[in-house]
Amino acid sequence: MAEETKEQKLMYSGKEISIIKAHFSENEELLIAIRKLFFGIDITGQEKESIKSTFSNPETVEVFRKKVYGLNNYDTPVGQLSDFWLGAETQVFGASRDTIYQAVESKKLVLEMFTKAFNLLANPDGEKVEIGTFMSLSADPLQVGLIARNLYMKAIETSLLTLKSIAGQKTETLEQTVKRLQKDSAK
């Protein structure tokens, strides 16, 4: 009995991986410029133009957003659904009022930060995300702003690293791999 093999669907389509590779492969300068922009750091005119040029295509913006924060996409392969609010329930079940408040309000702030950051891709001179300012303990006794800041920064850094990794992956067919290995072993 012949066994059928089905390719496992990945979170990113071949087209999306091609977009990632086209823009981010061996382009750490762009990734750093995006990080600086998203963290409210001034960037050069050349970096602004590079960002605007890269993200002038809505497909590129969507692929990037998909990595940074998930929105409901019910066509995603089973087991790979990514939704911004998934996981928040683990922070609130059985938690104190203060912990629930911190979890929900910090996620809301992070979502606002993501929205503001993504607007900067089209207009790098727009309203910046503030990550360096903190409310005093009397104004923000549960430090929701600090929690949001750190969640936001971790999400951006992890996303940029993932894009760098995907962009750097070499793609070759099984036949190409066999030929390369045979050639290497013949040396």
pLDDT greater than 60 at residue 91:
yes
Geometric angle at alpha carbon 127, from 124 and 129, rounded to 5° = 95
> In the predicted model, what is the mean pLDDT of the chain?
87
Geometric angle at alpha carbon 23, from 75 and 128, rounded to 5° = 85
Q: What pLDDT digit, counting tens, does each position of 30-73 carry?
A: 999 999 999 999 999 999 999 999 999 999 999 999 889 877 77
Residues 107, 84: contact at Cβ < 8 Å?
A: yes
Q: Which residue has the tokens 């002038």?
A: 56
d(CA 36, CA 48): 11
d(CA 9, CA 77): 6
pLDDT for the residue 74: 79
- Secondary structure E strands in the chain: none
Half-sphere exposure for 36 (CA within 13 Å, toward CB): 15
pLDDT greater than 90 at residue 122:
yes
pLDDT greater than 80 at residue 171:
no
Residue scoring higher pLDDT (156 or 76): 156
Residue scoring higher pLDDT (136 or 145): 145
pLDDT greater than 80 at residue 103:
yes
Average pLDDT over residues 22-29: 95
Residue scoring higher pLDDT (136 or 59): 59
First to last CA, the chain: 40
pLDDT for the residue 52: 97
pLDDT greater than 90 at residue 105:
yes
- Domain residue spans in the chain? 14-185
pLDDT for the residue 73: 75
pLDDT for the residue 1: 44
Geometric angle at alpha carbon 12, from 10 and 18, rounded to 5° = 125
pLDDT for the residue 8: 56
Average pLDDT over residues 122-151: 89
pLDDT for the residue 180: 67
Residue scoring higher pLDDT (112 or 175): 112
